[in-house]
Structure 1
């Protein structure tokens, strides 16, 4: 998070109105928590792959679920990393020209792109809810030796898309406050 946003949200500078500031702080904390939890999944994936390598090569008794479990964990890692990526402004952008813009112009551009992202996330959420309902109704499973249910990973996708939407709305509030701060200064 940029320093001027951090000061404003934490009470320095021009504070956001109470309810909005509370929403932004709460959403930022949730995004941080989920992001740090996602980062720890790397170790779980590594452990599962090492376990698979040991059982497959040393014991000569392969476990067929380890690689597939790693695929599920990797999907969870991507889903859970979305909110903190939005919060930390760590997504892909053309910084070659963006970095030369004024803070106010950056806020305007970010508001426009967040609008596009919100539309995309809403469409993605509608589709993922539909997919989750289908998975629950049919008790959908992967077609493999392990045959796991896909309901947990589809549920996690829905939850993470909601968190990404919440974080995107928080970013809208931050950018609006940036524009207001510039006008008042």
Structure 2
């Protein structure tokens, strides 16, 4: 395996590890927003922004933590046959699956970029009383999709290496 591909795999995994760990902390912001909304409803005037802000924070948590979750093996896998296969068969099936996922993520990114361009060009706002701008959350979505594409590409490289009989070692992050 070329050294540049191994370096790419290690850099992508280090990036996604750090972004995923950072995304975990957004749960505290989410809890703060939800707590403020509950206190405001119980004690004084309800805040119109708390529900939508909580939705945006949760979306950021999920989308930015997706590549990290995939990297840590948290994805659900049907294990009826998979556990019985050899490492090379697993790598071959994983390569096909990852390639299909890359196509899906590419289409998703294409739509996300077009939607983000629209949001930026026309200052798109969400309907409702608060009317927040949509561009920031759409940019976060595109970043999360790019991170997923990078992680899937790293997985594809690992699977191809495994098919060739080469093991790319995990690097301490």
TM-score by length of 1: 0.85
Give yes or no for the alignment of 1:169 onto 2:153.
yes
Mapped partners of 1:86, 1:156: distance in 2: 18
From 20, 28, 33, the counterpart of 2:13: 28
From 96, 102, 115, the counterpart of 1:131: 115
Partner in structure 2 of residue 77 of structure 1: 61
Moved over 2 A (4+): none
How far does the alpha carbon of each residue in 1:29-81 deviate from its partner, in whole angstroms, 9 at most, with x for none?
11111111121111111111111111110x22211111110000011111112
Mapped partners of 1:106, 1:55: distance in 2: 53
Segments of structure 1 that go 5 or more residues without pairing to the other structure are: 1-15
Mapped partners of 2:65, 2:79: distance in 1: 21
Mapped partners of 2:72, 2:109: distance in 1: 22
From 41, 47, 54, the counterpart of 2:39: 54
Q: How many residues align?
A: 167
How far does the alpha carbon of each residue in 1:137-173 deviate from its partner, in whole angstroms, 9 at most, with x for none?
1100111211110100100111111111111111111
Segments of structure 2 that go 5 or more residues without pairing to the other structure are: 167-173
TM-score by length of 2: 0.91
Mapped partners of 1:60, 1:66: distance in 2: 14
Mapped partners of 1:136, 1:112: distance in 2: 36
